[in-house]
Amino acid sequence: MKPRSNHALLTISLIGGLVWASFAPLSLLFGVYLRFRGLSYASIGLLMTTSSFLSPFLQPMFGAIADKYRNRKAIVSISLLLRSLAYLLLMLSTDVVSMAICYVAAGLFLTGFMPLAQSMVADLSEGNRLGVYMGRYRLFGSIGWAAACILTGLLARSSLWNIFPLALAFSTVSFLVSLFLPSVEGTGESPLSSTQHKGVSSVRLTACFIASILISGVGMGATSSFLTISLSQLGSDPFFTSLVIAIGALLEVPAMYLGGWLSDRIGGLPVLVFGEVGLGMIYWLYGTVENLYSYLLIQSVRGVLYALYTVSGMSISSSLGGTRRRGLYAGFYNLSLQLGTAFGPYLGGLVSDYRGLWAMFVLSSAFSWASAILLTPWMTIFLKRKTQAS
């Protein structure tokens, strides 16, 4: 890697780590905070769904704009600045309605970062070891998430309100670091895009991939929103809850690199399917295991599986887009994932209100398994062609 490219990848990765760190405080305990304020499960799910429902549709638009004008640094910096301002207003809010508005705004402004960062990492790889580059970028997110989880748990022991200034601090620093982000241009061709004319990649594969990410995102969104509430009902305090989540995030760090290496070695599709099947098993355990200390092990395995799922999905979407449409395809990937995770909390809240949290976790596992089944035929074709080529 050239020195300038190395500097660019490090800067993007640091920004990503800070962005994921800013997710942690609200992702961990915002639902618990709202529950303590008297909101029902369905209301909490609806609020979380509303906050992230609009933003996914802007992802392809930002990606397409970046592909055309290539001025990605300015879009990233402005988006992170506006997101920090939204977090500031969220911290100052005193009622649920204003909190909802600010939470929605924060999600909207983040759309200027996610697809653009992914496309820049793909450009830096120049078609070589795309999975490894994605893994390097994304592992910083896991480090940031893990550190923020532990810090969140410590600060929340005195007051749950502390999650708001902590999220604001991480978001503000991410904006400041983005000011030092160099411009990134890439010329390489990605593995899947180079095989498009051989029939491995097609419109149908893209459609199945997007649908699979959407379906799996529903289960992921539901479980992520209510796991901390489930742990609190089992007797966990905020610090132990944050420790459980942080352990999973720490295991993501080496697993992100492993996921990237496997994606380059055997292909992203097999890695993605394995991750979806494994996550389905984890969701089932969420609904059946009642021993709190068992979640330390369960969440550790979940961290590895989530890393495989994430890196392979990012690699596949960047490959399908080629060099000219990486931003657009990254936007479609984030669109499908965020739509799923946006709808998941509301569906999970409804199921939890009427059938209990255990039923929601079991339903989430079914969604994850269904997403894997959707891609299984394509995975078989891809592995067969790869074997024949070698």
Q: What is the pLDDT of residues 304-328, one digit of tens each?
A: 999 999 989 988 887 776 656 666 7
What span, in angstroms and rounded, lies between the C-alpha atoms of 237 and 384?
Answer: 49
Q: How confident is the model at residue 2 (pLDDT cuts 50, 70, 90)?
A: low
Taking each helix axis from N to C end, the angle separating 357-389 and 203-233, rounded to the nearest 10 degrees, works out to 150
The more confidently predicted of residues 378 and 143 is 143
Please check the confidence at residue 135 and state whether its pLDDT lies above 80: yes
Q: DSSP secondary structure string, 254-307?
A: HHHHHHHHHHHHH-HHHHHHHHHHHHHHHHHHHHH---TTHHHHHHHHHHHHHH
Helix (H, G, I), strand (E, B) or coil at 121: helix
Which spans in the chain are helix H? 3-36, 41-53, 55-69, 72-92, 96-110, 114-125, 130-156, 163-178, 191-194, 203-233, 238-266, 268-288, 294-321, 326-355, 357-389
Domains of the chain listed by start with CATH number: 3-389 (1.20.1250.20)
Please return the burial class of 72, using the count of CB atoms within 10 Å of its CB with bins 0-12, 13-18 and 19+: buried
Q: How confident is the model at residue 268 (pLDDT cuts 50, 70, 90)?
A: confident
Q: Among 39-43, 102-106, 333-337, which stretch is predicted with the lowest mean pLDDT?
A: 39-43
What span, in angstroms and rounded, lies between the C-alpha atoms of 23 and 25?
Answer: 6
Distances (CA, A) of 293 to 18, 50, 56, 126: 29, 33, 36, 44
Please check the confidence at residue 186 and state whether its pLDDT lies above 60: no
Please check the confidence at residue 15 and state whether its pLDDT lies above 90: yes
Please return the burial class of 375, using the count of CB atoms within 10 Å of its CB with bins 0-12, 13-18 and 19+: buried
Please check the confidence at residue 216 and state whether its pLDDT lies above 90: yes
This prediction has a pTM of 0.74
Q: How confident is the model at residue 271 (pLDDT cuts 50, 70, 90)?
A: very high
Task: Identify the H or E element spanning 123.
Answer: helix 114-125
Q: What is the pLDDT of residues 39-80, one digit of tens each?
A: 777 777 777 766 666 666 777 776 776 666 666 788 889 889
Distances (CA, A) of 336 to 46, 106, 381: 18, 19, 23
Please check the confidence at residue 165 and state whether its pLDDT lies above 60: yes
Please check the confidence at residue 187 and state whether its pLDDT lies above 60: no
pLDDT, the chain, mean: 82
Please check the confidence at residue 195 and state whether its pLDDT lies above 60: no
Query: Is the CA virtual torsion 277, 208, 358, 283 positive or negative?
Result: positive
pLDDT at 330: 75
Q: How confident is the model at residue 198 (pLDDT cuts 50, 70, 90)?
A: very low
